[in-house]
Amino acid sequence: MDWEIVGDILRITVLAGLGVAGVLAILIWKKNLATRITYMRLVIQAVAFTSLFYFFTFTVPLLYVLIAIFAVTLVIGRLYCGWLCPLGFVMDLTILVRKALKIRYRILPDRLNKILHKSRYAILLFFLFVPIALWLTQPPPSMPVAVMETKLLAGPFRPYSILIDPLIPFVVPWTNAAVAVFQINLTYPYVQEVLTYLGQNIGQVVAIAFVGLTLAGSFFVRRFWCRFCPTGASLAVVNRFKGFKWAPLLHIEKDEEKCTKCGVCKRVCQSQVTDVYEQKGGKINTSMCMLCLRCTEMCPYEDTLKVKFGNKTLFKSRNWLEPSTSE
Amino acid sequence: MDLGTQKVQAVILKDDAVVSRGQAFSGFDPTKAAEQAVGEALKKANLKISDVAYFVATGSAMEMAPYASSTVSMMGADAKAGVYLFPKARTIIDVGAEEARAVKCDEKGLMVDFIVNERCAAGAGAFIEAMARALEVKLEEMGPLSLKAERASPINASCVIFGESDVVSLIHRQESKPEIARAVFDAMADRISSMVHRLGVNPDVVLVGGVAKDVGFVASLNRKLGVNVLIPEFPDFAGALGAALAAASRAKEGQK
Amino acid sequence: MKSEKVEKKYMPEVPRKEIDELRNTIKTASEKIIADNIERMKKADPNRPQAMKYFDEMANLFGQRQKEIAAEKEKGKKVIGFMCLFAPAELILAADAIPVRVNSGWYDTSKLGDRVVPVEVCPVIRSTIGAKMIELSPFLELSDALISVLTCDGMTKLSEILSDYKTIWGMNIPRVKDSAQSLRFWNDEIKHMKSQIEEFTGNKITRKSLKEAIEQTQRATKAFRRLQDLRKGPPVIMGRDAMLVNQTYLWDDKKRWTEKTEALCDELEKRVQRKEWVCSPDTPRVLVTGTPMFWPDNWKLPTLVEEANPKGIIVADELCSGERILNDPVGVDEWTMDDMLSAIGERYLMASTCPCFTSSDGNEDRINWLINKVKEWNVQGVIYYVVRGCMLYGMEYTRIKKALDKINIPVYYLDTDYTREDVGQMKTRVEAFLEMLTARVDF
C-alpha cells in the first residue's frame, strides 16, 4: 500500500517535472516569439496526454468529473480545449505533420464554419436526452448502478460519458477496448459510443470511417473535430447565460484604438473566429474560441490583444518583429 | 506695433489701459513707418522711448519691426484684443486690406482655433477699393451709399479683377450705384461668413480691422452671419492693442 | 522598345535641346536645394547624430545611390519602380530586382506638367509628368518597369501617360477594404503581379526567396519602429531628420538601410540615457497627417514648423511618405507560398489607412491610428496637410477633426501646392498654430 503511494507520487512528480522542463526549454531556446506559445502549448498538451493515461488507472465517479469540468470552465473557459485535450493534441500533431510536408491548410467558408459550430449544441442535446429517454423506458434497478464509474462506462448514464470522450487516452487499461494489438488495448474517442449503439459490425465500419475522417479532416482543416465536439459546446454554454457574463475569468481582451484591422488574427485562428477582428474592443465574447492564443501571439501591435485572468494581464501582443528562425 | 501691408499702427498701454495711439503709412519702408507711428504715440502720451518697458510686434511685416523684443501672431493679437475690449467675445473676425481671418478664443483670450481666407483678395479690403475705383466713388462713401439700396445687383463675385469689369456692364444695364455697392459688400460678407461658419460662430462675435469702419460692410455681415457683430471704437488698432497686451503679460513674466 | 518617333498618347513633342536645358537647370537647382535643406537640418541640431551622415548622402538623389543602381543594372538586375505604397515590394525583392519609389517631389517640374494636364490635378502627378518629360528623376529613368496602383484618379491616368515610356502594370485596388470579395480580388492581383514580375525578370520567386524578402522587410520594420519609439519621449531627434530617414528607405538598399537605422537608434538610445535633448522638452509636439511629402522640394512644411518662432517639433506623422511606409509587418502564419502571398495581400490591403478606401464598418482605422499616435507620442497639435487637388484627403478632414476635437486636440487644415510662393503665408499660419499650442501648454 505504501509503495503504491510512493509510486504514485513519483509518477506525478516525473510528469510534472517533464512538463516544467519542457516549458522552460521552450522559453529559453525558442527565439521566434511568433510561435513560442504554440510550442509551449504542445508541450503542455503532451504532458496532459500522458497524465490522463495514468489518471485512468483510478476510479473516479463520472458525476464528479462532469462537475469539475463545468466548475473549471467558469474560471478558465475553453482553456481545456486548447491546452489539455488529448484529442486536440492528436489534431495538433497532424498539423505538425502537414507543415513538415509543406501542404497548405484549407479554410471553411465563414457561414459554414458558424453553422458547424452550432451543430455542437445539437449533438450535445441529443446525448443529454438519450439517458433521459433510456431512464423513462428502462429505469435502472438501483441507485448505485445509476452512478457509473469512468473506468467501466456502462449503464443508462453511459451517454453522458460522451462529454469526457476526448479525455480518454488511446491506450486504455480496460480489456473491452476497440482494438487489442499485442495485448495493448487501443481505443479512440467516441469509437466506444459508436460500437455500443451501432453494434459490432456496422459499428466497426463507422468507427473506422470516423477515425479516418477526424484525422484526415484535421489534416486539412485545422482542429476539424472541434467544430462538432459536444464537450466544447458544454464548456461554452455557460457563458451564454445572463448572470455568467463575467465568466470565464480567463479571457482575451482587445484595445480598439490600437487595432489597425490588419486581419492577422482572423487569418491565423484555428477555429476561424472572426470576433476578435470584428468586435469593437473589450472582452471577446465567443464560444468558438479555444484560447489557443495564436491571435495574441501573432498580433504585430503592442498591447492590442491581451490575455487576462480577471484584471491581471498574463500575456499580451508585442511589437512583434522577430523573423522566423525555424523552418 | 502692428505692421500691416498698408499702414502701421502703434498702441501704448499703461496699467492695463490704452494711453495713446499712433499710425503711419507703410510704403516701402515698414521699419521707418513703425518708428513714425511709435513716435506719434509717444508724443501724444508725453513719453520717451526709454519709458517703454517692452515692445511686441505683429502684422505681416512683423519681422521688420524696430525695438521689438518678440513677436506675436496676428491671430493671437486679435484674440487678446477682442477679449480685452469685449470680455464675452469668443469669435473675432479681422478683415484687413489683403487678408481676412477669424479666431475662436476662450475667456482668457487664448486662441482655440483659427482660419484664414484662401489667398483671395475678394474677401478683403482690396476688393472694396477696386470696386470703389470702378464705380468712381470715394472709398469712404461706399458704405453710406450701399445702405441706400434695397437689394443687391447680381455681380460675379469670384474674382476682384472680373468684378471690376463686371461693374461696367452692370452700369450699362441701368443698375444703380447703391445697389452695386451693396452687392460688393454682400459678396464680401458672404465669403467671410462662410469662412467663419467653417470655424463655428460662437457669440459674442467681434469685428476688427480697417474694414470694420465701413458701415455698409458691417450691415451686410450682420445679415449674412445672422448675429450683430460688436465693433470697438478703433477697430484698425485692434492688432496693435493685442500686441501691446502681449507685451504687458510678457513683461510681467520677465520674459526676454 | 518604343522609339521616340512614335507619337505619344499624352506628352507633347519637346525638342531635345529644351529637354536637356530644362533638366540641367532644374537638376542644379535641385542639388542646391538638397544641400540647403541638409544645411538647415544640421543647423537646427548642432549635436546631430553621427549616423545621420549616411542618410545625408543618400538624400542626394543624383548621387551615390543612382550610380549603385546603374551598376547593378549593368550586371543584369532589373529595376522595378512603383508610385504607391501598395505595390508589394517583397515580391520585387524576392525576384532579385530592385524596388524603388518614383514619386516626384520637385516643384519646378509641376509647371511643366501643366502643359499636359489641367492645373487642378494633384501636384504630385503633375510633377511626375514634368519629371518624365525632361528625364529628371534618376530612379524613374533607371526603372525597367513600373507598378502603378490605381488608388486615385490621378494615379490611374498617370499610368496611362507613363505607359508611353515604360512597361506599366496597373494593379486594381478595390475601394471597399474589408469585404471578403475585395480580399479575394486583391489576392488574385497579387498572384498575377507575381507571375508578371517572374516573367519580366526571368527569375522565379521561390518559397525560399520570398521568405528571405519578407524577413528582410520585417527586420526593416523593426528598425523603423525602434526609431519611432525613440520619438515618444522628450525630443532626441529632429522631426526632419527622422522623416528623412524614413523616406530614404524608398530608394535605398533595404539591408543597408536597416543596418544604418539600427546604428542611428543605438546612438539615440545613448542620448536618451544622457538626457541630451535636441530642443527643450516644452517645445510643442506636432503630428503631420495628409498627402505625402516628397524630398527634396516638398520639405516646406517640416522646415517651417521646426524653424518657426515659436519652434515646434514634429514627433510623428501619418504620411505615406513617412511612417506609413514600414509601420505594418507582414504576418505570416505558416511559411508556405500560399500563406505568404495571402499574408502579403492582407498586409497591403487591410492595414492601410489611405483615404482612397472606405470600409463597411465605418473606416475608423485611420482615426484609431491617429488617436493612438496622439496619446502615445504625447502630441499636442495636428497639422492636416493637403495639396490642392487631393479630393480624398481633403474630404476626410471634417471627420478627422470631429474625432480629434473629442479628445481635445487642435487640428489645423493647411492646404498648399507645389510652389514656393506661399511660404510667407504658410509661415504666418504655422506660427499662429504653434503659438496656440504653446499657450495651451503654459496653461
Amino acid letter, A277: Y
Q: Using the structure block, give the residue that is written with the C-alpha cell 505604397.
A: C85
Phi, psi (deg, nearest 5) at residue C2: -80, 125
In this structure, the number of other CB atoms found within 10 A of the CB of residue B165 comes to: 12
Q: Alpha helix locations (H) across C45-118?
A: 52-59, 64-74, 89-94, 108-113
Asked whether residue A22 is domain-assigned, the answer is no
Cβ contacts of C428 on chain B, cutoff 8 Å: 60, 73-74, 116
B166: nearest Cα among B127, B139, B214, B117: B127
Chain B residue at shortest CA distance from C441: B110
Q: What's the domain count of chain A?
A: 2
Same domain for A265 and A124? no
Q: For chains A and C, tell me whether 3 or more CB atom pairs sit within 8 A of each other.
A: yes
B60 lies within 8 A of chain C by CB: yes
Cβ contacts of B75 on chain C, cutoff 8 Å: 432, 435-436
User: What are the E-state strand segments in C26-172?
Assistant: 79-82, 98-101, 145-149, 167-171
The whole-number pLDDT of residue A324 equals 45
Backbone Cα Rg of chain C: 21
- Chain C nearest C-alpha distance from B75 (Å): 6
Amino acid letter, B44: K
Q: Which of C225, C333, C343 sits opposite A319 (nearest CB)?
A: C225
Say if domain B1-86+237-256 classifies as CATH 3.40.50.720: no
Beta carbons of B163 and B130 less than 8 angstroms apart: yes
Q: C246 pLDDT band (50/70/90 cuts)?
A: very high
Please identify, among A248, A269, A298, the residue that sits at the C-terminal boundary of a domain: A248
Q: Which of C207, C221, C365 sits opposite A260 (nearest CB)?
A: C365
Cβ contacts of C435 on chain B, cutoff 8 Å: 72-73, 75-76, 111
Three cell numbers, residue A284: 471577446
C343: nearest Cα among A294, A265, A273, A271: A265
Which of B58, B62, B63, B73 should we substitute to test contact with C (largest number of C Cβ atoms within 10 Å)? Answer: B73
pLDDT tens readout for residues B59-109 = 888 888 888 888 888 889 999 999 999 998 899 999 887 788 899 998 888
Question: How far apart, in whole angstroms, are the C-alpha atoms of residue B163 and residue B170?
Answer: 10
CA B71, distance to chain mean position in Å, is: 18
Q: Determine whether the interchain pair B116/C410 forms a contact, defined as Cβ–Cβ distance below 8 Å.
A: no
Asked whether residue A214 is domain-assigned, the answer is yes
Cβ contacts of A223 on chain C, cutoff 8 Å: none
Cβ contacts of C334 on chain A, cutoff 8 Å: 99, 105
Q: Provide the 8-state DSSP code for C333.
A: S
A112 lies within 8 A of chain C by CB: no
B65 lies within 8 A of chain C by CB: no
Calculate the dihedral angle through the C-alpha atoms of C357, C361, C363, C368, rounding to the nearest 10 degrees: -150
**Of residues A221 and A147, more confidently modeled:** A221
Same domain for A156 and A285? no
* Burial per residue of C19-46, b for 16 or more beta-carbon CB atoms within 10 angstroms, e otherwise: eeebbeebbeebeebbeebbeebeebbe
Amino acid letter, A122: A
Amino acid letter, A215: L
Size of interface A-C (CB pairs under 8 A): 77
Q: Which of A56-65, A119-128, A211-220, C278-287 has the highest mean pLDDT?
A: C278-287
| Furthest C-alpha separation in chain A | 65
Is residue A68 over pLDDT 70?
A: yes
Same domain for A177 and A296? no
Q: Which of C328, C335, C338 sits opposite A324 (nearest CB)?
A: C335
Cβ contacts of B243 on chain C, cutoff 8 Å: none
Please identify, among A213, A248, A283, the residue that sits at the C-terminal boundary of a domain: A248
* Distance in Å from the first CA to the final CA of chain C: 66
- What are the beta bridge partners of residue B218? none
Same domain for A241 and A282? no
Mean pLDDT of chain A: 76
Q: What is the ipTM of this complex?
A: 0.83
Q: Determine whether the interchain pair A262/C347 forms a contact, defined as Cβ–Cβ distance below 8 Å.
A: yes
Same domain for A272 and A230? no
pLDDT tens readout for residues C378-428 = 999 999 999 988 889 989 999 999 999 999 899 999 988 888 888 888 888
Same domain for A266 and A241? no
A107 lies within 8 A of chain C by CB: no
B114 lies within 8 A of chain C by CB: yes
C230: nearest Cα among C214, C241, C219: C241
Q: Using the structure block, give the residue that is written with the C-alpha cell 491616368.
A: C157
Q: What is the pTM of this model?
A: 0.84
Asked whether residue A16 is domain-assigned, the answer is no
Q: B43 pLDDT band (50/70/90 cuts)?
A: confident
Same domain for A313 and A242? no
Pairing type for strands C285-290 and B91-95 reads: unpaired
Range from A46-50, B36-40, B221-225, C149-153 carrying the lowest mean pLDDT:
A46-50
- What are the beta bridge partners of residue A251? A308
Same domain for A212 and A264? no
Asked whether residue A128 is domain-assigned, the answer is yes
Give the number of residues written for chain C: 443
- Chain C nearest C-alpha distance from B172 (Å): 35
Three cell numbers, residue B176: 444703380
Q: Determine whether the interchain pair A267/C375 forms a contact, defined as Cβ–Cβ distance below 8 Å.
A: no
pLDDT tens readout for residues C128-183 = 999 999 999 999 999 999 999 999 888 999 999 998 888 999 999 998 988 889 99
In this structure, the number of other CB atoms found within 10 A of the CB of residue A19 comes to: 17
Q: C1 pLDDT band (50/70/90 cuts)?
A: very low
Q: Determine whether the interchain pair A267/C331 forms a contact, defined as Cβ–Cβ distance below 8 Å.
A: yes
Same domain for A237 and A257? no
Q: Which of A104, A259, A263 sits opposite C339 (nearest CB)?
A: A104
Same domain for A78 and A128? yes
Q: What distances in angstroms separate CA B233 from CA B81, B142, B208, B213, one per listed residue?
A: 12, 20, 10, 9
The whole-number pLDDT of residue A140 equals 60
Which of C208, C215, C332, C371 should we substitute to test contact with A (largest number of A Cβ atoms within 10 Å)? Answer: C332
Backbone Cα Rg of chain B: 19
Question: How far apart, in whole angstroms, are the C-alpha atoms of residue B196 and residue B218?
Answer: 15
Please, where in chain B does CATH 3.30.420.40 lie?
Answer: 1-86+237-256, 89-231
CA C176, distance to chain mean position in Å, is: 23
pLDDT tens readout for residues B169-183 = 777 887 788 888 888
Over chain A, what HEC string results?
CHHHHHHHHHHHHHHHHHHHHHHHHHHHHCCCCCCHHHHHHHHHHHHHHHHHHHHCCCCCEHHHHHHHHHHHHHHHCCHHHHHCCHHHHHHHHHHHHHHHCCCCCCCCCHHHHHHHHHHHHHHHHHHHHHHHHHHHHCCCCCHHHHCCECCCCCCCCHHHHHHHHHHCCCECCCCCCCEEECCEEECCCCHHHHHHHHCHHHHHHHHHHHHHHHHHHHHHCCCHHHHCCHHHHHHHHHHHCHHHCCCCCEEEEECHHHCCCCCHHHHHCCCCCCHHHHCCCEECCCCCCCCCCHHHHHCCCCCCEEEEECCEEEEECCCCCCCCCCC
B96: nearest Cα among B4, B220, B189, B178: B4
- Chain C nearest C-alpha distance from B243 (Å): 13
- What are the beta bridge partners of residue B21? B11
**Which residues in chain B (71-100) have CB-CB distances under 8 A to chain C?**
71-76
Beta carbons of C321 and C293 less than 8 angstroms apart: yes
- Chain C nearest C-alpha distance from A172 (Å): 35
Range from A52-66, B7-21, B77-91, C355-369 carrying the lowest mean pLDDT:
A52-66
Chain B residue at shortest CA distance from C434: B73
Q: If you average pLDDT over residues A38-58, what whole number do you get? A: 76
Same domain for A152 and A270? no
| B159 Cβ neighbours under 8 A, 6+ residues apart | B120, B122
Pairing type for strands A250-254 and A282-283 reads: antiparallel
**Of residues B208 and A240, more confidently modeled:** B208
Beta carbons of B182 and B151 less than 8 angstroms apart: yes
Residue A32: helix, strand or coil by DSSP?
coil
What is the CATH classification number for the domain harbouring A255? 3.30.70
pLDDT tens readout for residues A88-145 = 888 888 888 888 888 888 888 888 888 888 888 887 787 777 766 766 776 666 555 5
**Which residues in chain B (130-189) have CB-CB distances under 8 A to chain C?**
none
Q: Return the percentage of chain C with pLDDT > 90, whole number.
A: 53
Chains interfacing with B (3 or more CB pairs < 8 Å) = C
- Chain C nearest C-alpha distance from A102 (Å): 6
Q: Determine whether the interchain pair B113/C429 forms a contact, defined as Cβ–Cβ distance below 8 Å.
A: no
A41: nearest Cα among A80, A99, A98: A80
Is residue C334 over pLDDT 50?
A: yes
Beta carbons of A119 and A227 less than 8 angstroms apart: yes
Write out the residue range of the structural domain in which residue A317 sits.
250-327
Is residue B18 over pLDDT 90?
A: no
* CA dihedral sign, ordered C367, C372, C374, C377: negative
The whole-number pLDDT of residue B41 equals 86
Amino acid letter, A77: G
Question: How far apart, in whole angstroms, are the C-alpha atoms of residue B31 and residue B1?
Answer: 11
Q: Which of C336, C347, C353 sits opposite A102 (nearest CB)?
A: C336
Architecture of domain B89-231: 2-Layer Sandwich (3.30)
Q: If you average pLDDT over residues C105-117, what whole number do you get? A: 89
Amino acid letter, A24: L
Three cell numbers, residue A277: 477582428
Amino acid letter, A63: L
Which of B60, B111, B195, B252 should we substitute to test contact with C (largest number of C Cβ atoms within 10 Å)? Answer: B111
- What are the beta bridge partners of residue B57? B71
Q: Provide the 8-state DSSP code for C235.
A: -
Asked whether residue A215 is domain-assigned, the answer is yes
Please identify, among A248, A278, A306, the residue that sits at the C-terminal boundary of a domain: A248
pLDDT tens readout for residues C172-182 = 999 898 888 99
Pairing type for strands C167-171 and C145-149 reads: parallel
Q: What distances in angstroms separate CA B118 from CA A196, B220, C389, C396, C417, one per listed residue?
A: 85, 20, 14, 19, 12
Chain C residue at shortest CA distance from A303: C372
Q: For chains A and B, tell me whether 3 or more CB atom pairs sit within 8 A of each other.
A: no
Beta carbons of C201 and C281 less than 8 angstroms apart: no
Cβ contacts of B119 on chain C, cutoff 8 Å: 422, 425
pLDDT tens readout for residues A83-94 = 888 788 888 888
Cβ contacts of B74 on chain C, cutoff 8 Å: 428, 432
Question: How far apart, in whole angstroms, are the C-alpha atoms of residue B59 and residue C387?
Answer: 26
Q: Using the structure block, give the residue that is written with the C-alpha cell 528562425.
A: A325
Three cell numbers, residue C81: 519602380
Q: What distances in angstroms separate CA A319 from CA A296, B205, C229, one per listed residue?
A: 11, 50, 11
Q: Determine whether the interchain pair C428/B76 forms a contact, defined as Cβ–Cβ distance below 8 Å.
A: no
Q: A229 pLDDT band (50/70/90 cuts)?
A: confident
Cβ contacts of A278 on chain C, cutoff 8 Å: 361
A199 burial level (CB within 10 Å; 0-12, 13-18, 19+)? exposed
Question: How far apart, in whole angstroms, are the C-alpha atoms of residue C45 and residue C244?
Answer: 14
Question: How far apart, in whole angstroms, are the C-alpha atoms of residue B64 and residue B58?
Answer: 10
Same domain for A136 and A274? no
Question: How far apart, in whole angstroms, are the C-alpha atoms of residue A197 and residue C11?
Answer: 81
Amino acid letter, C58: M
The angle at the Cα of B60, spanning B58 to B65, to the nearest 5 degrees, equals: 55
Cis before B66? omega within 30 = no
Asked whether residue A88 is domain-assigned, the answer is yes
With an 8 Å Cβ cutoff, the interface of chain C facing chain B consists of 309, 410, 412, 415, 422, 424-425, 428-429, 431-433, 435-436, 439-440, 443
